[in-house]
Amino acid sequence: MHKIPPHFIVEKDNKVVFLIKGVFPEHLILKNYMPYFPKAFKGIVMRCEESFYKMRMRVNSKK
């Protein structure tokens, strides 16, 4: 299994949010990591670390 970058799952929206800093192409990232998640899920890449962690805290607090 590949080393998957920091991520969290938004179950109600069927989304997987990845934190990828830098300019690596989004479609290559999603092509490599989305097969580890159910087909119904959509992948999203966030570049800003602060926004990623704020969003993750907001999603986790609603559970």
Residue 2's pLDDT is what?
66
Mean pLDDT over all residues of the chain?
Answer: 91
Instruction: Find out whether 46 and 56 touch, Cβ atoms under 8 Å.
Output: no
Give residue for tokens 């890449």. 45
In this prediction the pTM is 0.87
Average pLDDT over every residue of 38-49:
95
